[in-house]
Amino acid sequence: MSEATLYQEWTDEQKYAHFMKRIEVGEKIEADDWMPEDYRMTLIKLISMHGISEIMGALPEKEWVPKAPSLKRKLGIMAKVQDEMGHGQLLLRVAEDLMKPLGRTREDIMQDLFSGRLKFHNVFHMEAPTWGDAGLIGWLVDGAAIITQTNMLNASYGPYARALKRICAEEVFHAQHGEAIIMALAEGTEKQKVMVQDAVNRWWEALLMFFGPGDASTTGTSKQDITIKYKIRTKTNEDLRQDFFTKYIPRVLSLGLTLPDETMYFDQEKNLWVYKQPDWNKFKNIIKNNGPKSNERLSLRRTAYDTNKWVREALNTAN
Amino acid sequence: MSKPERKLIDEINPALTSLLYQLADDDFILAYRGSEWLGLAPHIEEDVAFSSISQDTMGHAAMFYQLLQDFGEGDVDHLAHGRKSSERKNAVLLEMVNGPGHYLSTAQYDWAFAVIRNYFYIQSKKIRMDSLKNSSYQPLAEVAVKVNMELYYHLLHWKTWFVQLMEAGGEARSRMEAAVKKTLADFGGVLSLGPLAKEMGEQGLIEEEEILKQRWFLMMKPIFESVNLTVSEADFAMKNGNGRKGEHTADLDAALSTLSEVYSADPAASW
């Protein structure tokens, strides 16, 4: 193949080989570059789910924004949840560029969310009944998110990698914000200590599920292999869960909190945390929008979307 | 032209505290209403922008409460969370609910009301801050300079929405006009400086109420004309009470019980 051959005249096989070579050497793929269909579809699914999860993720915390117990905490949580919405917007823009050749838009993303075709992260289907949960979400859920997102910072798709870089930087502040809330509670009155321990107990299983099942046997499908093949991510779900344990278990214990899994220990020989598996059937149900708060949150989002329809129509007229 | 020398006020007096309570309570309750909108704005970009504005506004409230705390009026968190509605001095317009429904489940909020209430209020706040930059109470003048820098963006934001939706015609226009009517019916409360307005002017804390009101008109007139809207001074009222005198609605009671739920569980605890 001579240099002079026009790229447009290449066969799909040639383009594929060239694409794989590019990602092998660490080059970034950009929105207008040629990419295999399954790469595009995997990215659309991954990034639109990530984006919409950031947006749906604002809802469990939303309850606690007006209720935060001091001016300082109110300002902190307002800033935090605003960041999450900002991440959602940034990611949806990345997904929109990928969807453009398919003739799909933001409106399709929203409709897919409402119809259940587009899932949002299992962790955001859960209840957050106390201020302790607000702190715990910031600390451990955002902490878990930092671990999964750091795993994709070198993703082969340039626009996603760049968005994640900014998101991870902000998530670090969120985890500090959450940790500050949790520390105040853990060092506070008896009632406050109970509040934070209850939150840990309530969220433990959801935190294990956060990283997804170890392999495809749980849900029938898994994108782990294809995302690793295309260098979107490097580590498996189980690797990430282990990283989370290593980072956070000492911190949880140092605050005088206990883990709701008495069987858990670190196996020095295998260099692995051994723990009780969450109920993966529950997980399957949650991601089908049958979690404790799935319907309420979807319905809140849908009602707002419908109530504001006139605004979007007016903007379309004006443009 | 040389300005007459300002005589600085440096001790607590009822006119000064009354002014500070109005400024703090206005921003605090409107920022709270803004935070209820979180996740429910017409599009995601707006959610980001609106929550940023609400956050700024909450920050302004915190600065005004801090001035009161410095005067020995009590801890800032008590001032924000622990006072009964009859002690609050915010304008009633700013405490009114965003629309039907609860912020967690059935919210059907009125975006037209959000735009008008915020736009009209922020313009009035801007005029107050411009005046307060020359306040005889120096710490307040310094806070006003800081607050003012952010108001430029808030005002630009709400003006853009106002003009776009007013010019869209159809359903948008009629919803916006209804919201204008609703807002003006209590806008007298926003422009009021309360029972001690005269003393505030005499002490040079802020300019007179009437001057500020005329300035608001002057700023808004060209915008109103550009979208073919007639607003006259006679439209300003306090239909639902005079918040500056501590008169409030059930909306405020409900808001206070939500926003202080965790604080009230143990006001002495460190959160």
What's the pLDDT band for A2 if we cut at 50, 70, 90? low
Beta-carbon separation of B48 and A315 below 8 A: no
pLDDT of A318 reads 60
Q: Is A308 a member of any domain?
A: yes
What residues contact residue A257 under an 8 Å CB cut-off, 6+ apart? A186, A196, A197, A200
Q: Assess whether pLDDT exceeds 80 at residue B49.
A: yes
Q: What is the pLDDT of chain A when averaged over all its residues? A: 94
Q: CA angle, A123 as apex, A122 and A127 as ends, to 5°?
A: 115
- Contacts with A75 from chain B: Cβ below 8 Å: 55, 58-59, 62
Cα–Cα distance for residue pair A58/B131, rounded to 1 Å: 38
Q: Assess whether pLDDT exceeds 80 at residue A5.
A: no
Q: Assess whether pLDDT exceeds 80 at residue B104.
A: yes
Cα–Cα distance for residue pair B220/B225, rounded to 1 Å: 9
Q: Which pairing describes strands A265-267 and A272-274: parallel, antiparallel, or unpaired?
A: antiparallel
Q: Mind telling me how many Å the CA of B105 is from chain A's nearest CA?
A: 5
CA distances from B83 to B246, B252, B253, B260 (A): 11, 12, 11, 10
Residue of A308, A309, A313, A319 to mutate, testing the B interface (most B Cβ within 10 Å of its Cβ) = A308
Q: Is B193 a member of any domain?
A: yes
Beta-carbon separation of A317 and B269 below 8 A: no
pLDDT digit string (tens) for A50-81? 999 999 999 889 999 999 999 999 999 999 99
Beta-carbon separation of A191 and B265 below 8 A: yes
What's the pLDDT band for B2 if we cut at 50, 70, 90? very low
Q: Is A14 a member of any domain?
A: no
CA distances from A167 to A87, A191, A247, B54 (A): 6, 34, 20, 22
Nearest to B42 among A86, A92, A311 (CB): A311
Q: Measuring CA to CA, which residue among B95, B86, B37 is closest to residue B252?
A: B95
Q: Is A134 a member of any domain?
A: yes
pLDDT of A319 reads 58
Nearest to A308 among B42, B54, B170 (CB): B42
Residue of A67, A177, A187, A316 to mutate, testing the B interface (most B Cβ within 10 Å of its Cβ) = A67
Q: Is B8 a member of any domain?
A: no
Report field, pTM of the whole predicted structure over 0.90: yes
Residue of A62, A75, A78 to mutate, testing the B interface (most B Cβ within 10 Å of its Cβ) = A78
pLDDT of A11 reads 93
pLDDT of A223 reads 78
Candidate from A7-11, A135-139, A252-256 with smallest mean pLDDT: A7-11
Beta-carbon separation of A71 and B62 below 8 A: yes
Q: Measuring CA to CA, which residue among B48, B97, B108, B114 is closest to residue A304?
A: B108
What is the rounded average pLDDT of the residues B198-217?
Answer: 97
pLDDT of A4 reads 57
Q: Is A17 a member of any domain?
A: no
Give me the number of domains chain B comprises: 1
What is the rounded average pLDDT of the residues A302-319?
Answer: 90
Give me the number of domains chain A comprises: 1
Q: Is B183 a member of any domain?
A: yes
pLDDT of A280 reads 95
pLDDT digit string (tens) for A277-289? 999 999 999 999 9
pLDDT digit string (tens) for B225-258? 999 999 998 999 999 999 999 999 999 999 999 9
Q: Is A5 a member of any domain?
A: no
Residue matched to tokens 């440096």: B10
Residue A294 phi, psi dihedral angles, 5° rounding: -55, -50
What is the rounded average pLDDT of the residues A26-40?
Answer: 96
Beta-carbon separation of A131 and B164 below 8 A: no
B47: CATH: 1.20.1260.10
- ipTM value for the complex: 0.94
- Contacts with A132 from chain B: Cβ below 8 Å: none
Q: Assess whether pLDDT exceeds 80 at residue B4.
A: no
Q: Is B6 a member of any domain?
A: no
pLDDT digit string (tens) for B121-150? 999 999 999 999 999 999 999 999 999 999
Nearest to B45 among A59, A89, A296 (CB): A89
pLDDT of A251 reads 96
What is the rounded average pLDDT of the residues A194-199?
Answer: 98
- Residue ranges making up the domain that contains A81: 25-318
A285: CATH: 1.20.1260.10
Say whether A267 sits in a helix, a strand or coil. strand
- Residue ranges making up the domain that contains B176: 14-265
What's the pLDDT band for A3 if we cut at 50, 70, 90? low
Integer-rounded Cα radius of gyration of chain B: 18
In this structure, which amino acid lies at residue B267? Answer: P
What is the rounded average pLDDT of the residues A224-245?
Answer: 94
Q: Is A180 a member of any domain?
A: yes
Q: Is A3 a member of any domain?
A: no
Q: Is B9 a member of any domain?
A: no
pLDDT of A224 reads 81
Q: Is A130 a member of any domain?
A: yes
Beta-carbon separation of B40 and A300 below 8 A: yes
Beta-carbon separation of B104 and A191 below 8 A: no
Chain A CA closest to residue B44: A89
- Contacts with A314 from chain B: Cβ below 8 Å: 164-165, 168, 170-172
pLDDT digit string (tens) for A89-128? 999 999 999 999 999 999 999 999 999 999 999 999 999 9
Nearest to B258 among A66, A89, A317 (CB): A66
Q: Assess whether pLDDT exceeds 60 at residue A204.
A: yes
Q: Assess whether pLDDT exceeds 80 at residue B75.
A: yes
